[in-house]
Each structure stands twice: as structure tokens, then as C-alpha cells.
Copies of this chain bind each other. A is one copy, B any other.
Amino acid sequence: MTQALRLGIAGLGTVGVGVVKIVRRHADLLKARTGRSIEIVAVSARDPNKDRGVNLSDYAWETDPVALAKRDDIDVYVELMGGENGPAKASVEAALASGKDVVTANKALLAIHGQELAEQAEAAGRVIRFEAAVAGGIPVIKSLTEGLAGNEITRVMGVMNGTCNYILTRMQSQRQGYNALFDECAELGYLEADPNLDVGGIDAAHKLALLASIAFGTKPNFDGIEIEGIQQISLDDIDQAEDMGFRIKLLGVAQRTARGLEQRMQPCLVPSDSPLGQLEGGTNMVVIEGDAVEQVVLRGPGAGEGPTASAVMGDVCDLARGLQILTFGRPANSLEAAAPAVTGLPAPYYLRLGLLDKPGALAKVAAILGDAGVSIDRMRQYAHAESTAPVLIVTHKTTRAALDIALDRFRETDVVAGAPVALRIEEV
């Protein structure tokens, strides 16, 4: 009989407890599927006395995750503490150096230090697996790295922060403003300790950096991502986008362009009747496009005890079965340092601006757009009680640079009130 696969788990929050539960509940099932017993040998967390609702008395306890990672009696180090530096990084390095494979849910760690850690893993002949780091329970890392390995990937995009999507869909369905929903999320515990990680788009951008690396064979480059959060989205934008047939999503998009690797995480408009447009609440969705497969859409829970633990266990089962995949799907030293595309590919844009009630106002706006080379697809001016008329414009495809010239010139006129809102329309 093959020897058991022995796990050391650092971090006993929601996900860690979820993993412990699966290992205990499904001992027979996991053995039937992988051909090996999967056992937890030791665990590590801050407070050994806290009641976590699960029996941990069979496992050795380490207060120091680095000590856990180095233990001779584990085969796989499961890092579920989080954080891009500190104990997470130190313990992963210690695990690799002492010959352990690593399974982690830590998107920040890999988005920032993925390249060096992948190199360390390969030098040690070990692997780092991180299905749980991206889009919770959806097996997206596996689909992209393995299932779609025959494709040149042309674009990968997704809604990968459930809290942002919850806020945006509640704004639409419940007519609540951003600030009220932000407060509600804080009360419900839906927000990270630093809420900017969620609503500022950073958490989702970490995930995008990992997907882009696998998709395009490039070094993970978090700093190369253009990031914009959802804080500026108003109920007016939600309504008027809907009126034009669109919904607003915090959408991550990565694609190769002639001028480099484009990586954006920003509020975008997508067609209301597309799978992305129809995605509601905390659910995640990743869209993968390849030259052979055309388009595959994966949807599932982006967070939570069960779904995230499911992803961790998928990686653990791979290791139990002896399946060894390189961290980003190819040797780390072959990953390319792709230059970030300074501006993305041309796209249609949604513009919302307040037009002052003056003769010729609309003509001025139209002329500025025309002069900048931005062509108008659709325009609506809404009835208004105040002296400012809400005007919505959907442009034909244009570069962001051309649009920025027009936005600058709007500021110089005397007919546009306040700052116009400009959101990219992603063709899906």
C-alpha cells in the first residue's frame, strides 16, 4: 500500500477549518479517488485554545508556521494564513527548502513574489499549487493550465471579487447607494480588514496577475495592472448603463497586444444579457478565450469555507495522485517579462456628463469628441428639472488616449458641469 500523504496546515481560519473538515469527513472517498490516505499531521495558528468547531486534538500543534513547514513528518505544506510577506512567505520558502510541496490560497503572496517562489520550487524539485487563490471553488487554474493547454490564449477575464459584485448588483436591484452598501458589507463581515483590497480592486487584481501569467507565459506582474475600484460608481451610472443595455461589473481583463501585455482591473460595462452581465451577488465568473476552444465560461462561488476548501483539496488530491504541474504551467525561468501595454486595445466607451442648459452646448460636446477622433455610436439626453441635463454617450471603438484628450477639453469648456464619467465597454 502506498504511504499516506501527510499534510501540515498553517492557518485555521474559515478555509483551514474547511480543509480539516473535508479530510476528516471524506477519508474513504479521498483514498478511493487518489489511491492514498490523506492525513493531517500538524497544524499552526495564532490561538491554540480557540474553539473552531472541529476536533484538532489528533494533530501536533506548532506556534511557528516556519517550524511547521520544516517538519520531517509532512509531505505537503498547506499555507492558509494569507499576507504577501511575513510568516506566509517565510514558511513557504522554508517548506520548499526542506523538500515539501506547497498548496496555498494566498493570491497576494504569489502575485507579488510568485516568480521567485516558482523558481525556488523548481530548484528544489517541488511544486506550488494555488487553485484556491483564484475564484474560490471554480477549478480555473486547472482548466487554464491543463485543460486548455492546447490553446494560444487570446483573452482571459473575470469577475473575481464577490463583495464588489454583491455591491454592484444590490445597487441595481435594491436602489441603494454605494456608501450604504459598503457599510452593510462591513457589518456582514464581507470586507477584508483593509476594505480597499476589495472595493479598490486590489484583491481581484492579484488574481488577474496569476491568470495572466499562466495564460500568456509571462512573469506575474501585479505592478503592471491598471487598477480602478468601484468607489466612484453611482446609482445614475447603474441606471443609465442598464438603459443602454449594459451592466457595470468590476472586470479584470488580460490580453496580449502588439504593444505589450494589457492587464486591467476596472469597472466596465458588459451587455446585460451576456453571462458576465447576468452574474449576480457574490458569485465569481472567469471567461477564457483561446484560438481553438473559442470561449469557455466558468462560474461558481468565489469565497466561503466549503468552496475554497474544495479548491485546496483539489490541489492536495493532485499531489496524492502524483500529478506535478509547474507553478505557472511552464518552467519559471522560461516566463517572459512582458512589457505592460501602456494603453489598452481600442474599445467603445460609455460617457456620462452633465450638460449645462446653454444654447449650443450639445454641439460643443459633439465637436470636441469629433476633433479628438472619437465617434459617437449612441447618445441620449434625459429630461431634467435642474439646470444640468444628464447626457449619455456610447462611443464607437476608440483609444483611451483619444478619449482623454476629449475629456480634458470638456473641462475647459463652459458647458460641461463637473467631471464626466468614462467607463470602458468590454466586448464579451
Chain A positions within 8 Å of B, measured between CB atoms, are 18, 22, 26, 29-30, 32-35, 131, 137-139, 142-143, 146-152, 217, 273, 275, 278, 290-301, 304, 306-307, 309-314, 316-318, 321-325, 329-331, 334
Residue of B with least CB distance to A299: B297
Contact B147 A142 (CB under 8 A): yes
Candidates B30, B291, B334; contact of A306 at CB < 8 Å = B291
Name the residue of chain B whose CB is nearest to the CB of A331.
B35
Q: With A137-B292, A217-B32 given, is the CB distance from A146 to B323 under 8 Å?
A: yes
A241–chain B nearest beta-carbon distance, Å: 19
Stoichiometry, copies per complex: 2
Q: Judging by beta carbons under 8 Å apart, are B296 and A139 in contact?
A: yes
* 9 residue pairs from A and B, CB less than 8 Å apart: A18-B292, A32-B217, A33-B330, A149-B317, A150-B310, A151-B310, A292-B309, A296-B300, A323-B325
CB-CB < 8 A to A323: which residues of B?
Answer: 146, 323-325
Most buried by B among A131, A137, A150, A278: A150
Question: 10 closest Cβ contacts across the A-B interface?
Answer: A150-B313, A139-B147, A149-B317, A292-B310, A293-B310, A296-B300, A137-B293, A292-B306, A297-B299, A147-B314
A97–chain B nearest beta-carbon distance, Å: 24
A314 touches B32 (CB 8 A): no
Nearest-neighbor residue (CB-CB) of A288 within chain B: B300
Question: Residue A307 contacts which of B152, B292, B310, B331 (CB distance < 8 angstroms)?
Answer: B292
